[in-house]
Amino acid sequence: MYALGVIFVSLLILVGLLRLKVRIGLAMVVAAGALAVLLGVTPAAMWRQLVAEWEGGSLTRATPYLFVSLTSLLLLVNVMGEAMTQIGLSERLVPAMQGLFRSRRVALAAIPLLMGLLPTPGGIMLSAPMVREAGDKIGVGRSRTAAINFFFRHQWEPVWPLFPAVPLIQSMLAVSAARLVGHHLILTGAGIVGGVVFLLLVGIPPRRAEHLEARAGLKVHALDFVHVFWPIVLTAVLYVQLHVPPAIGIFLAIVGLLLLHRVEWRRWPGIFKAAREPDTVLLLFGALWFKLNLEAGGAVGDVLQFFDRMHMPPLLVVFLLPMLVAASTGVTMGTVAITYPFLMSYFGTGGDVRMGSETLAFAGVVFGLMISPIHLCLALSASYFKTPLVQIILKVLPAAWCVAGAGWVLVWLAR
């Protein structure tokens, strides 16, 4: 019971700091430090845990390796975004989307869905101007436009390797990328279907004459589309098929992009300066330190014993724990790092892992993020689209339930 209370206090500290507008990285480090103090985790205990990781498992599951690889990935994603902006690819995306997709509904969803393949901190603002312009042009209410942009942008989190939670889960569970992505695909599929039904099939005004625009040839739009997305697809293929770490894959894609577009060498340092994001480094450090403290302080075993004494159904724990932490923090990476050490005893690791239960856990993560009032993307959406936060959440909620339902269905089918 004490361990559970300590974790709750640490999360309250994190939420309180976020409400005080402290940056998420620093807030996560402070919360992890508070957890270490309350659990009595000494530097010696932490060192013993690191040594045990090194001796008892593969390099890819060790905390120092995860910190270096995941930090590199997130920072290089920023570099990719900067490179595309300077080359002029980003501004060519909207005309390409509008030209390729004749349906106004498909175009509205496709812009954030495809831009979501390049995850950056606060990256929802990359697609927000395009979606707002398109929505205003066809008369869609701002709250619905904001919900469409927010919801569809986050549909790749369960499966896309550029989101650091995916390689982190793969490392923690010691499963193949193909197996993890194959099970998580049901969440992405359910989310897209739910978004179409509850966000696109209602609230879109009938087509009028002014909605029809002159378009360039499909060949031009298709080429623009390929130019924007081949580096992202290359990174994913290298990861899934050849097991190349995403950080290395995206670095190769960036170099290839700059060479293909003949960007002058003197401009390269300025583009790579986009990797200077100290708060991103702090966020990953804090999340992994939190995870390390849970393991070194013995909190995992204590909490599991408490759940057993309370006779809580295991599947309910698997779904509710990540959902509550995600809703409290608004951060995918931190939620996985905090909750999965507990949940791994429920769904196992390696060849014995029960992927149906793990997928249910990630469904809880996604659902919590979709309704979290402190999720950065939600706050940015409410501000940019000038619409109440609650209205966005209410419009997103039915589609978010589809993701949660898909997790429960998969567990039932796996029995």
CA distance 99 to 103: 10
pTM of the model: 0.70
Is residue 284 within 8 Å of 74, Cβ to Cβ?
A: yes
- Range picked from 171-185, 196-210, 215-229 for highest mean pLDDT: 171-185
CA distance 90 to 76: 17
Alpha helices in 88-205 (DSSP H): 93-100, 104-115, 124-138, 142-153, 165-173, 177-195
Closest CA to 170 of 349, 343, 14, 33: 349
What do you get for the CA distance between the two ends of the chain, in Å?
31
Give the contacts of 126 (CB within 8 A, at least 6 positions apart). Answer: 81, 90, 115, 118, 120
Measured in degrees and rounded to the nearest 5, phi and psi for residue 237 equal -65, -45
CA distance 39 to 7: 9
pLDDT digits (tens, 9 = 90+) for 369-402: 998 866 767 766 777 788 887 888 899 999 999 9
Is residue 205 within 8 Å of 406, Cβ to Cβ?
A: no
CA distance 187 to 355: 13
Is residue 148 within 8 Å of 109, Cβ to Cβ?
A: yes
Is residue 221 within 8 Å of 101, Cβ to Cβ?
A: no
pLDDT digits (tens, 9 = 90+) for 106-149: 878 888 887 787 666 555 766 776 677 778 777 888 899 999 99
Query: Domain residue spans in the chain?
Result: 62-289+316-414
CA distance 86 to 54: 42
Q: Which residue has the higher pLDDT, 368 or 138?
A: 368
Q: Per this entry, what is the length of the chain?
A: 415
pLDDT of 193 reads 96
CA distance 247 to 102: 36
pLDDT of 207 reads 65
